[in-house]
Structure 1
């Protein structure tokens, strides 16, 4: 079967896509496979305007199994399925071998690196059946004939192996999937769709087995419901027996069991949605793998990735009267604003001419917003207020060396006042001050005697104090009747990084918080302020709950977010279910976030993006269910061919799963996690280390891939969001297992033929910069070059020079890096410091630093540079005199990325756009020994 009819006839192909696009826009289809009643039908039925699959094959040149897959996935999730179908039919490249594509799909589902079931451990009899079935599909791909008797024998073996397992078990689910796969897709139109359903069943079953609810709970629940039903039936006349609501009785008699049952049902439903998304991604990956173009894509201007965007970060005021955003003004980002109903009347509000405004936030006072500025990256933030009605800007706090201020709370109930934090009294600790926005007057609300922070309710009552404990744990304290702070919630050192309070409800009666106690991943919980009863609202077996969408009036959680490989939003309150479904459908497989909302919750500011699409902003009208496009952050990339980002879970040498992201140049992408040839690879190491890399548009990935590099980002142990065992696995492992995780990821890329072992580079900032230095000193022949951006070189001097306001977190730093108060801790700090192994470096190194960095001082870079020079090892050193922990000013950012691009091209062989310092007037780069380094 070829693609001649579908792809050889452009008019027919466009007619098919236009018809499907109209179906997407009309949102009218029938949720039944292969259906057409003359007026409406399923996706396939509507495209054919009949139920004749022979016509699908004959007219379109597409296999029947694809029709069944499209309609099955659409019937399962109409809101997402129809846009997905459009992407698949648009994305199938001319020349795609559809006669073997069915077997490719089945093999990917059974044993693929990214989506396969090989991750599920199979008993011997099932493993043997799986091997037989995969061998048959591999033979089909190799062009060999497979007799019908071979397929029948494989099915019988799969059925026999499946029957050895109890119904509902993971083994039974895996066997069912193998049975479904034991058909030739060229002969069976249901082979792929049935395998896909079986695959989803295995994934859901595996997730449910990890969930704290098993067979014993099921049996006890059934017994309770049966007893309640019998009791109610005996107490009612026969004619009322049908109106018995046993679940209402369960909630009244056994509220904890009712809550748990509701949670497990929500989890089952969320797993169905999550696995449906994974299934669609698997099929799309296989069928729509981009064909490699004959020539490399055009070089995308570096400015398109790193120059100031024309506009960004648009937001709507709580009252809905104003829009505000950041926009470039002569190379500096400033705040602009316009009436929400007259955006053409926009005007510039701030007039900064140096560092620019990086963000802003709203108050509840009409037309008043807040922003902060520091001095050349010193992070001593000064707070300002802008009045949009007249364009005036005034300082709310003074600019004092060593003093930093920030916004703690704004409130609907006290609109003229905000609560700020300031360390003006004691540089180590932040006091709470009440600040009047109209008069500028301040008064102390709470003096900080050593706490890590405070939590207030919506009426500015200081309800909780937060304290870090000597063993690395933490606790929340509340006042007793005498006004003294007393411990209320305590988190052990193992739980402290993943457990924390979030906020109070509007009445101050319920605290919402993240809690990993008694479980691995952080759940979303609520605790009653007066009685102390804890209710679990949501959890996920593989990832921490990572944020929530709350009601603007009550602050009650409406939905919560989870990111393992990709972000998912799960509904808690059915009042927003239709909104979430609509926005998911509009995102068409991409990602979206709520950036702001009006106080009445009727309008949402939405950011939409994908791995191949830079963010755009849309205003969502909930009552009308419409989206209004407002701006694109990078419109200059609209026609650029960007590279897809592929999530992959790589096993560390001790089995720890490392969620990672791979981006390949578009002309070297040969399908899921495959490149056309071994490529120069840049390993990007995130900072923190208590942060994570995620899926979506990533300017660094796109820039480097466009220059010809494979790009790999790895969530090594110590990264956040993957449960407490994962984040705590990084304690004491700086310069050891955290390094080894990165090495294991590089080894994976080498083993798959993605990376060229002679052209490996490593680049990172902050902790990532430390990882660069550590890798080059521990593995001196592994990398061809490295770039360290504001990374520490000596862990002992790093801890001795941390900002004073990190004092409350000092013990937790000691737990992670090593305790300088002990002999063993000092020895560990010295052993793990790259400075003491500087003589081991053998490859080109670029070190970049901001002179005003308060976290990683300039001395950290210069002592490493000095050590290398003492040992006769050339090093390039880039210092920016008006920057801090990262480079903010456009001429500095642009000059540094030009320098990096040139450095990587010299040592890894990628492409480069011409670059000179003169291209970026106003930059403060002081560059030492760059030419010498190249000569060496």
Structure 2
């Protein structure tokens, strides 16, 4: 018989759809415990499992010309993704077969004869650009450009003779260039001062422009047209308050879809390019409210597939008729026998921080909370350039079912609220975001349902750092803490993180060369003597982002002080716990820990 937490962790997720030329739909479904490729020929039909592995599939993309699909898979969470081709007869061909290297998918050519990717084969710390014929493998790939940073490919031009190449200098600063595959010349097309993002890039129908999302000239992301002759960017959709953070364009028909991030919720619009910067809008897609993403058009752009989820609806793939807006849910990801009324929604709230700034958060209460007796888990997102949005979380739903409230703040430094907000925690301002947590707890203490003596803090990755920092800076506020793959020491983290990502992280946190003293001062390991709340530490031993040594050193230091510490490591996981059997073990232990100490 399933335990309660095991039942919740058996709720399935369907996402990341891709249409085949035949009209079949491929998507990722975690029925077997990790996301694998499944296909459907009709809505709510019986799906066919197409990949079979213990490790997760990271994406799947159908060829535009054949019913064959390229997918990515790493090993044990090490993020060194390899590419494979899945043929219509079910056979799988390893395409890259370079297990020591990371491969970043860059898309199919329009004729389906080759594909592009970037990889750090030549030098682990940088990414080069490759193209490869669909029937070539391993070393057959052609190195078409040597990079000196974090490069990704944003797609082939309409004639398959050019690639858009993106170079990331930080999470909020990129540059785009156009690579001529015949001559090898690389033309920089996004000159700018300061930080600017250029993301979700699509070639314009005539190949003389790029359509993209950018905040080069504004605080928020807008949809614009970059003329490849003049390099001017003209706005297509510009919202001064909210980011346009979803965009897809079908180059043959000019049909498009974009989504605005409105306080975390996705507002989708479909339409057609009626001119260089004019959109003829279509009826609004009839989709559930919540979070929508992972968009893919079918072969003639009459339909689009999109993943939709909300706090009370697990992720499923919906297919939208682009012209009418009518939609139908295609996948039927199981809720493990849990009825819809077991799932709780969340409320968007705001609280005032130390500098009078309003900080947004999602707050969820259990059914019939007892006044002044409700325990709370403060759940902090990672990133830090990320955002807690109204998504489905089986762990959150279990906690609510057990009588906990859950508070999910988007502290300064979070994305989704403009460029200026995201930079409010950079380098020397790092601890201001931790002060936002204190202000959030003060808001909770004033809430009539909350027991102020039963507040725990939990977070993953950067949220793990925030958890540890909250415990060191404000030890009197918390009854317990849960650190999941978190940073305890910024110096050892930057020294040991994957070399390919060190420069990007130094741009956010500060550099080892110039900011070591600051990095040491904000590292929880150096103030661990202030932690007196019981601590749970969870980590994957293959984590290439935040190495497992971060967990080991903070657990040892806090345990030396006589504070109760539980440490759980998984030898077959990386930056997070992906496999269901491990998630069940991990969160069974975490919830038992919370029940004991909160």
Same fold, TM-score > 0.5, yes or no = yes
1:301 aligns with 2:301: no
**Pairwise CA distance, 1:706:** 1.0
Distance 1:732 1:792, change over 3 A: same
Aligned to 2:223: 524
Aligned to 1:426: 123
In structure 2, distance between residues paired with 1:515 and 1:848: 37
1:655 aligns with 2:350: no
Aligned to 2:313: 613
- Cα deviation, 1:682-717, whole Å, max 9, x if unaligned, reads 100001111101124333332211111111111111
What SS does the aligned partner of 1:360 have?
strand
Asked whether the equivalents of residues 285 and 327 of structure 2 are also in contact (C-alpha less than 8 Å), the reply is no
1:107-256 alignment runs, 5 A limit: none
Aligned to 1:185: none
Distance 1:867 1:460, change over 3 A: farther
More strand by share: 2
Distance 1:797 1:658, change over 3 A: same
1:814 aligns with 2:493: no
Distance 1:579 1:447, change over 3 A: same
Aligned to 1:717: 412
- Cα deviation, 1:716-767, whole Å, max 9, x if unaligned, reads 1111121111011110256510101111111112123342210010000000
What SS does the aligned partner of 1:895 have?
helix
1:904 aligns with 2:594: yes
Aligned to 1:869: 559
1:765-780 alignment runs, 5 A limit: 765-780=460-475
- Greater Cα radius of gyration, structure 1 or 2: 1
What SS does the aligned partner of 2:300 have?
coil
1:414-563 alignment runs, 5 A limit: 414-440=111-137, 441-450=140-149, 452-458=151-157, 459-462=159-162, 464-467=164-167, 474-477=174-177, 485=186, 487-493=188-194, 495-496=195-196, 498-500=197-199, 502-551=201-250, 553-554=252-253, 557-563=256-262
- Count residues with an aligned counterpart: 588
1:322 aligns with 2:21: no
Aligned to 1:18: none
- Cα deviation, 1:30-71, whole Å, max 9, x if unaligned, reads xxxxxxxxxxxxxxxxxxxxxxxxxxxxxxxxxxxxxxxxxx
- Cα deviation, 1:232-275, whole Å, max 9, x if unaligned, reads xxxxxxxxxxxxxxxxxxxxxxxxxxxxxxxxxxxxxxxxxxxx
- Cα deviation, 1:518-569, whole Å, max 9, x if unaligned, reads 4322222212111223211122222222122423525664444233242222
Asked whether the equivalents of residues 549 and 560 of structure 1 are also in contact (C-alpha less than 8 Å), the reply is no
1:336 aligns with 2:34: no
1:583 aligns with 2:275: no
In structure 2, distance between residues paired with 1:322 and 1:471: 35
Structure 2 length normalisation: TM-score?
0.89
What SS does the aligned partner of 1:545 have?
strand
In structure 2, distance between residues paired with 1:882 and 1:710: 32
In structure 1, distance between residues paired with 2:376 and 2:565: 21
Distance 1:842 1:647, change over 3 A: same
1:777-926 alignment runs, 5 A limit: 777-807=472-502, 810=503, 812-822=504-514, 825-908=515-598
**Pairwise CA distance, 1:792:** 1.0
- Cα deviation, 1:590-631, whole Å, max 9, x if unaligned, reads 665574331212233344444322234344445787544433
Aligned to 2:304: 604
Distance 1:698 1:350, change over 3 A: closer
Distance 1:735 1:707, change over 3 A: farther
What SS does the aligned partner of 2:487 have?
coil
Structure 2: any 5+ residue segments left out of the alignment?
none
Aligned to 1:385: 85
**Pairwise CA distance, 1:798:** 0.9
Asked whether the equivalents of residues 349 and 392 of structure 1 are also in contact (C-alpha less than 8 Å), the reply is no
In structure 1, distance between residues paired with 2:34 and 2:214: 42
- Cα deviation, 1:482-505, whole Å, max 9, x if unaligned, reads 976565423444x33x45472321
In structure 1, distance between residues paired with 2:23 and 2:272: 27
Aligned to 1:127: none
What SS does the aligned partner of 1:428 have?
coil
In structure 2, distance between residues paired with 1:382 and 1:462: 24
Structure 1: any 5+ residue segments left out of the alignment?
1-298, 669-674, 909-936
Q: Which of the pair has the greater relative contact order for Cα pairs under 8 Å at 6+ separation?
A: 2
More helix by share: 1
Asked whether the equivalents of residues 268 and 284 of structure 2 are also in contact (C-alpha less than 8 Å), the reply is no
**Pairwise CA distance, 1:506:** 3.5
Aligned to 2:106: 408
From 350, 356, 361, the counterpart of 2:51: 350
CA RMSD of aligned residues (A): 3.1
In structure 1, distance between residues paired with 2:302 and 2:183: 44
**Pairwise CA distance, 1:828:** 0.7
